Amino acid sequence: MNPNEQLAAMAKKLAALEAENAALKAAPAKVLSYKVSEKGAVSVYGMGRFPVTLYKEQWVRLLAAGKDILAFIGAHNAELSTKADKVARDANAASAASAARVAATAPADSTLTVSAVIPRPAVVNGKGVSAL
């Protein structure tokens, strides 16, 4: 396999791995779980990397405003993004970056240039010795 074929195979493998990574990141959401924190607050796990923790009165106030929050989300739906949007943006950015890296390392034309290095005898104290 010549270097150009190796480069194309590596680029194809990289694209497949990036697609697999994006699919794993877009996996279904975890089930929510709840815990009382050390300070007596309610922590909700499964929303993201970190738990969402609020005190009881904060949860009551937030849940009471649920209809208002849903109305706000509906009114600003075009401006809001989802986690799937973020995953897609990240995958596109990674794909573009890897394509740029591949393009930067590929020769301008499809020919392979090989430059030979011819060893010269080393000289130590005026005496010639074989090349290292």
Q: What total number of domains does the chain contain?
A: 1
Residue 66, in any domain of the structure: yes
Share of the chain above pLDDT 70, in %: 72
Whether residue 110 has pLDDT greater than 70: no
Write out the residue range of the structural domain in which residue 21 sits.
3-98
In a domain, 103, yes or no: no
Of residues 102 and 11, the one with the higher pLDDT is: 11
Is 130 within the bounds of a domain? no
Q: Would residue 23 count as lying in a domain?
A: yes
Listed in sequence order, the DSSP H helices in the chain are 3-25, 56-64, 66-75, 83-105
Q: What is the mean pLDDT of residues 120-124?
A: 59
* Contact between 53 and 42 (Cβ < 8 Å): yes
In a domain, 122, yes or no: no
- pLDDT over 80 at 128, yes or no: no
Mapped onto helix, strand or coil, the DSSP state of residue 82 is: coil
pLDDT at residue 47 greater than cutoff 80: yes
Q: What is the pLDDT of residues 7-39, one digit of tens each?
A: 999 999 999 999 888 887 777 767 899 999 999
Residues 22, 101: Cα–Cα separation, whole Å: 19
